[in-house]
Amino acid sequence: MSDRRLAPARTAAWLALLSLDAVLLALLELFFLPLRLDGTLLPRVGDAPFPIAVVLAALTTPWLVSAASRLGERRLGMVPLVVWVLTVLVVGIAGPGDDHVLIADLRTLLLLGCGAVPAALVLGGVLGRAARESRDRASSAPAKPSRPSPTPTRR
**Average pLDDT rounded to a whole number, residues 66-95:** 90
Q: Which pTM value belongs to this model? A: 0.78
Phi, psi angles (nearest 5°) of residue 133: -65, -40
Give, as one character, the DSSP assignment of residue 48. E
Q: What pLDDT score was predicted for residue 148? A: 63
What is the CA 82 to chain-centroid distance, rounded?
A: 6
Residue 70 within a domain: yes
Residue 154 within a domain: no
Residue 150 within a domain: no
Residue 65 within a domain: yes
Residue 71 within a domain: yes
Q: What residues make up the domain containing 61?
A: 8-139
Residue 126 within a domain: yes
Residue 60 within a domain: yes
Residue 34 within a domain: yes
SS3 content of the chain, % helix, strand, coil (to 5): 65, 5, 30
What total of structural domains would you count in the chain?
1
Region of residue 47 (left: phi > 0; alpha: psi -120 to 50; beta: else): left
Residue 115 CA to residue 59 CA, distance in Å, equals 8
Residue 121 CA to residue 127 CA, distance in Å, equals 10
Confidence of residue 1 (pLDDT cuts 50, 70, 90): very low
Residues 126-143: tens digit of each pLDDT: 888 878 888 887 887 665
Q: Is residue 86 scored above 90 in pLDDT?
A: yes
Higher pLDDT, 6 or 70: 70
